[in-house]
Structures are given as structure tokens and as C-alpha cells.
Chain A
Amino acid sequence: MLQKRVIVCLDVRDGKTTKGIRFKGNVDIGDPVEMAQTYYEQGVDELVFYDITASSEKRGIMIDVVERVAERIFIPFSVGGGIGSVRDMRAVLLAGAEKVSVNSQAVQNPGIIEEGASLFGSQCIVLGMDAKSDAEMPSGYRVFINGGRTPTALDALAWAREAERLGAGEIVLNSIDADGTRDGYELIVTRLLSQSVGVPVVASGGAGTPEHLVRVFTEGSADAALVASMVHYGDYSIAQIKDALQAADIPVRR
């Protein structure tokens, strides 16, 4: 039986793992390569690196990080942030990433999904989506871009279906309402998307306890769940999360 994946997300800025603290901006919390290795040894199923480097001249640092990660961990990992062209995609994939993730760039230029999927295969192309509840939208959720700051005219469900049609092989759904709260994933929109598309849906935003993952895999129908703060600060290990999932009869890799 296919297992539910626990994915650790690392935000990387200028080659360092960083974490946004509300009202305080970002603080560096470690070396992404060493952190990746630690999570790999703990039994994480996959990793996601988001490059939030602001200046374009420092973007080469990320490729170096990707290469060093690929030499040391032997599980799939994806890279997102600042991927604006198939040239960017190729650079990340050749550096050793399994998948690339596009978000705002795909809203502005949906063709990048199609182009990437035809060149590298759908399994390589992940659509990242930031969604926020909005009663005016047909599905009840609106897509935002630019790190969740800018609203778009897109409905979350319609955009997920369109991205799948264009060739996205997976969708990472980040709930803006839940993000950073550590109060649990947004179950309603996760379930809605996961049951409406034929590609895996990864829940993101709000994870604070292993119980939150249990709920997003059962009530939320997610195929995978992203965690960040709850593991970065040592509150929980990957093993503790998987123990809780296993206790709830959710199939996981041990």
C-alpha cells in the first residue's frame, strides 16, 4: 500500500536555512546540507528547499546547496523559489533535485508548467499554490502570489485542475490562513483539492503536532504533509511523527 509521506521544508536564504518569525523577519537556523542529512538519517521521506534569496546575483549559492545535498542524501527532494524558466528548471534538476516547484511564476506564465512537463516529465514539475479562504470564490479559496501577499483572480480548485491539465505532477497546497499558526493544517481545502485532482496533493501550513498530520491524512485526504517549525526547533523528531501516524493506522515508511 502506498505510504503517506512526511516532507520537511527548508527555507534557504543566501545558503542558510532560515525561518520567518512573525513580526521579526527571518532568522538563520542552520546549514541546509547538514539539516538535510540529519532529517535523512531520521527517516524523512522527502525534502523541499525553497530558495528565498532576494538578490539574483546570489542565486548560484542555491545550486551549490542542491549539489551538496544530492551527494549526501538518497531520497527525493524538490527545489522551489525563483524558478522562472525551463533554464532554471534544468539547472536545479541537473544539480540533483528530483523535482522543481513553481508558484507565482506559473500563475504569471502557466506555459512554464507545460513546457517543463514536456521537457522533463510531469513527475518533475510541482505546482506550489498559496490559497486563502474567500467566500467570493467558487471553491471558497483564492490563489495568492508573491509569497501570499498579492491576491489573484484565480480560484484554488480551478487553478489546481488547470495545473494538472498542463502537466503538473504534484500540487503543494499552502494555506495562508494556517501558515505559521501551528494550529493544524487547513483540512477543508486540502480535502477538496486532493479529491478533485488525479495527482498527489501535499498539505502545507499549520503543522504543530503529530496529531495535525494524522488529521490531514485522514480528514484532509492529503497524500503527503509538509512540516517545518515543529521539527526545526526540536519539538518533534521524524520518528515521533511516524510513531503517531502508525498508531493511527496510517501507512508510513519505517
Chain B
Amino acid sequence: MIVGVVDYQAGNLRSVETALHHLGADFVVSCDPDALLRTDRLIFPGDGHAGAAMKVLESGGLGDAITTFFSAGKPVFGICLGCQIVLERSEETESPCLGIVAGGAKLFPFARDRETSAPATGERLKVPHMGWNAVHPVHSDPLFTGVPDGASFYFVHSYYTEPAAENVLCTTDYGIEFASGLRKRNLWAVQFHPEKSGEHGLRMLRNFLEVEL
């Protein structure tokens, strides 16, 4: 079994590689759609700007490759930006996103308040949402095997996903309760970074490597 890691110049893939290496996975990191389509499961990580990422995905044929991979029924795992651009749209960009899952990514509402209102006293929610936060699966899912409800994962993001209700995998509270993970058939995507989330994160990655459809 070979895992393909999509390299689309969106952030540093090193931590995903070291985590996969630690788990003993056989993987290739590639920006070549054909090479990725030959793999058995796909990891689609990424940080940064949704618009810039979509531009690279569209120009290199990688966006089509991800959609084709998903349509073929093989397991796909999106991480962070990869979780947002599987949706139809993002407030971060005018460009349409991949549209594999219905819904969009939105900016945290209090990110805008900051520009307009006077500095508040006491605790104020900062954007990006950066640090460890609890993740609650909404139903039992193989991705969460061995991961307790409320386990903490590491987040860094300013936009959050709002998928169709039936695609919500797990939720997290940061001022609002948002979908911190999505699931649609053979696609899983999470807003947090399992590769940077200690033992629970490694377990989740291992669960994806072992998931049977």
C-alpha cells in the first residue's frame, strides 16, 4: 500500500513526512497528478492562502487528480487548508474550490470585529485560532478509533469550515461551535494538524492508513 502526499507548494510538508515515516508508511510526496493517481490513498495537507493554493491546483491538474482519486473510491485525507478547499468555496478567495463536499469556509466572525471595535477588556478571541483545542466526534468513525472524545489537537487557522450537516465528522468550540472535521464516503478532512498533535494525532493518521472501506 502506497500513500500519496499532495505537494502543491502550500506550506511545509516536512512534519507530515516525518509522522508518516514514524508510522512506517510507504509514501511518495509528489506534485505529479499521474504519480499520485497510482497511489492507494491520498493525503492532502497544506497551510496558507486558499486562493493561492487553488491557483496551483488548477494549473497543474492536481485539483482534477484529487477529484478523480475521490471518485475512484480510494481513501483521501485532507489536513488544514486541505480541509477547506475540498468544499465548494471559501471567503478567502473568489475562485471556486474543489467542490467535493457541499459548503464553504468562512472567516471567524470576531476577526472582523477587531478592526472595527475598540479593544475589549478581559479575554478576547484571537485570530488565527492557534493552539490546542478539544475535538468531539459527532458519531463513531474509524478515524477516531482509540481517540477519546474531547482529545486535544493542534489548530492554526483563521477560516473555519461550514459543510452540509450530514458531512460533519467532529466539532470544536472557539467562540462558535464549528466543524473541525468532515467526512464524505471515502474522504476525511480535518482542520487541525494530526501530524503535530502528539500521540492522538499519530493514532488518527494511523487510523487513516488502516481504514477499510
Contact = CB atoms under 8 A, between A and B. Distances in A.
Given A2-B129, A2-B132, A196-B119, A76 B196 contact: yes
Nearest to B124: A195
B134 interface: yes
Given A70-B15, A76-B154, A199-B126, A224 B131 contact: yes
A200 interface: yes
A58 interface: no
Given A74-B202, A195-B121, A98 B134 contact: no
A227 to B, nearest CB: 16
B154 A123 contact: no
Contacts of B201: 74
Interface string A184-218: 00000000000110111000000000000000000
B48 A96 contact: no
Contacts of A224: 131
A195 B119 CA distance: 7
B131 A223 contact: yes
Interface in A1-28: 1-3, 5
A71 B133 CA distance: 24
B47 interface: yes
A40 interface: yes
B126 A70 contact: no
B48 A121 contact: yes
A169 interface: yes
Contacts, number: 90
A170 B130 contact: yes
A253 B15 contact: no
A199 B131 CA distance: 12
Given A75-B154, A121-B48, A96 B130 contact: no
Nearest to B193: A76
Given A3-B132, A198-B114, A221-B123, A74 B197 contact: yes
B148 to A, nearest CB: 10
Interface in A144-201: 169-170, 195-196, 198-200
B131 A198 contact: no
B117 to A, nearest CB: 12
Nearest to A73: B198
Contacts of A239: none
Nearest to A71: B18
26 contacts: A2-B131, A2-B132, A3-B131, A3-B133, A70-B15, A71-B18, A74-B18, A74-B22, A74-B195, A75-B197, A93-B14, A96-B15, A98-B196, A120-B11, A120-B12, A123-B47, A123-B128, A123-B130, A169-B130, A170-B130, A195-B120, A198-B114, A199-B126, A200-B130, A223-B126, A254-B152
